[in-house]
Structure 1
Amino acid sequence: MPADPGGGAPLADTRVRTASTASATFGTRAGKPPLTSSGIDHSTQIKNLQQLVQLRWLAVFGQLFTILVVHFGFGITIPIEQLLFVVWLLVLFNVLSMLRLKAPIRVTNGELLAALLVDVAALTAELHLVGGAANPFVFLYLLQVMLAAVLLPRWGAWIVVLITGLCVGGLARLAHPLPLPNDPRDGLSNPYVAAVLVCFGLIAALVVFFIVRIEANLRERDQLLIQAQRRVLEQDHIVRMGLLATGAAHELGTPLSTLAVILGDWRHLSQIQADADLIQDVTDMQEQVARCKSIVTGILHSAGEARGESSRRTTVCVFLDEVVADWRQRRPDNRLVYDNRFGADLPMVSDSALKQMMGNVLDNAHEASPHIVWLSAERSGDDLVLAVRDQGPGFAPQVLERLGTPYQSTKGQPGRGLGLFLVRNVVHNLGGTLEARNLTQGGALVQITLPLAAIALDAHDAPHES
Structure 2
Amino acid sequence: MKTQSSTDIAQGAARRNLAYLGRMRWIAVAGQLLAIWGTVMLLEVALPWRQMLPVVAFLILLNLVSAWRLRRGQTITDLSVAAELLMDVACLTLLLYLSGGATNPFVSLFILQVILAIVLLPRRHAAAILLATVAAHGWLTGNGVPMELPHLWHGDGPSFLNLHLQGMFLSFLLAAGLLTWSVTRITANLRDRDAQIQTLRQQMLEEDHLVRLGLLSSGAAHELGTPLTTLAVTLDDWQTLGAPQGAALEEKLAVMQRELSRCRQIVSEMLLSSGQERLEEAHGMRARAFLEDAIQGLRLPVRVRVDARCDPVIMADPMLEQAVRQLLDNAVEAGSRAIRITLSPDGPDQLAMVIEDDGPGFPADILADPGQPYLSSRDGVGRGLGLYLTGNVMRRLNGEMRLANLPDGAQVTLLLPILEDAT
TM-score by length of 1: 0.50
Q: Which runs of 4+ in 1 moved over 6 A?
A: none
Per-residue deviation, residues 347-367 of structure 1 (Å, max 9, x unmatched) = xxxx999xxxxxxxxxxxxxx
List aligned pairs for 1:63-78, cutoff 5 A. 63-78=32-47
The equivalent of 1:198 in structure 2 is 170
CA gap of 1:149–1:185, structure 2 versus 1, over 3 A, is farther
Distance (Å, rounded) in 1 between the aligned partners of 2:174 and 2:164: 15
Residue 214 of structure 1, CA deviation:
1.2
Provide the secondary structure at the position in 1 that maps to 2:146.
coil
Unaligned runs of 5+ in 1: 1-29, 272-296, 312-329, 331-350, 354-466
CA contact (8 A) 2:119 2:183 kept: yes
Partner of 1:34 in structure 2? Answer: 4
1:117 is matched with 86
Counterpart among 179, 190, 206 of residue 218 in structure 1? 190
1:309–1:210 distance in 2 versus 1, CA, 3 Å:
closer
Question: For residues 8-32 of structure 1, what are the alpha-carbon distances to aligned partners after superposition, in whole Å with 9 as ceiling and x for unaligned?
Answer: xxxxxxxxxxxxxxxxxxxxxx3x3
CA contact (8 A) 1:127 1:138 kept: yes
Quote the Cα distance in structure 2 between the aligned partners of 1:246 and 1:352: 10
1:53-452 matches, within 5 Å, as 53-182=22-151, 186-266=158-238, 268-269=240-241, 306-307=370-371, 310=374
How far did 1:138 drift? 0.7
Q: Deviations over 1:399-437 (max 9, x none)?
A: xxxxxxxxxxxxxxxxxxxxxxxxxxxxxxxxxxxxxxx
- Could you tell me how far apart the structure 2 residues matched to 1:182 and 1:120 are? 29
In structure 2, how many angstroms separate the alpha carbons of the residues matched to 1:74 and 1:160?
A: 34
Q: Does the 8 Å CA contact 1:140/1:199 hold for their aligned counterparts?
A: yes
Give the stretch that moved more between structures: 60-69 or 186-195: 186-195
Identity of aligned residues (%): 39
Q: Distance in 2 between matches of 1:77 and 1:202?
A: 23
- What residue number does 1:389 align with? none
Distance 1:142 1:81 in 2: 27
Distance in 2, matches of 1:309 and 1:150, equals 44
Distance in 1, matches of 2:84 and 2:224, equals 64
Deviation at 1:99, TM superposition (A): 1.0
- Deviation of 1:186 after TM superposition, in Å, equals 4.9
Deviation at 1:61, TM superposition (A): 0.9
CA contact (8 A) 2:373 2:384 kept: no
Q: Tell me which amino acid in the other structure corresponds to 2:91.
A: A
1:149 and 1:106 map into 2 onto residues whose CA distance is 21
- In the TM superposition, residue 264 of structure 1 has moved relative to its aligned partner by 4.3
Match in the other structure for 2:353? none
User: How many angstroms does 1:181 deviate by?
Assistant: 2.7
Q: Which whole-Å CA distance do the structure 2 matches of 1:172 and 1:98 have between them?
A: 34
Q: State the Cα distance separating 1:204 from its structure 2 match.
A: 0.9
Task: Give me the whole-angstrom Cα distance separating, in 1, the residues matched to 2:95 and 2:55.
Answer: 7
Q: Deviations over 1:232-252 (max 9, x none)?
A: 221221122122112201111
1:459 aligns with: none
The higher-RCO structure (CA 8 Å, 6+ apart) is 1
Q: Which moved more, 1:200-209 or 1:256-265?
A: 256-265
Shift of residue 258, structure 1, vs aligned partner: 2.5
In the alignment, the residues of structure 1 paired with residue 211 and residue 199 of structure 2 have an alpha-carbon distance, to the nearest angstrom, of 18
> Which amino acid in the other structure matches residue 120 of structure 2?
L
Q: Which residue identity is paired with 2:370?
A: A
Q: Is the 8 A contact 1:182 1:193 kept in 2?
A: no
1:197 aligned counterpart, secondary structure: helix
The alpha-carbon deviation at position 222 of structure 1 amounts to 2.1
Instruction: Tell me which amino acid in the other structure corresponds to 1:306.
Output: P
Relative to the length of structure 2, the TM-score reads 0.55
- State the secondary structure of the residue aligned to 2:63: helix
Q: Give, in angstroms, the shift of residue 185 of structure 1.
A: 5.4
The offset of 1:62, in angstroms, is: 0.9
Equivalent residues of 1:136, 1:196 under 8 A apart? yes
How far 1:123 moved relative to its partner?
A: 0.6
Stretch moving more, 138-147 or 100-109: 100-109
Partners in 1 of 2:52 and 2:62 — Cα distance? 16
| Alpha-carbon distance between aligned partners in 1 of 2:71 and 2:3, rounded to the nearest angstrom | 16
The answer for unaligned runs of 5 or more in structure 2 is 244-325, 334-365, 376-380, 386-423
2:206 alignment partner AA: E
Decide whether the 8 Å contact of 2:117 with 2:129 is kept in 1. yes
**1:60 partner letter:** V
Q: How far does residue 267 in structure 1 lie from its aligned partner after superposition? A: 5.2
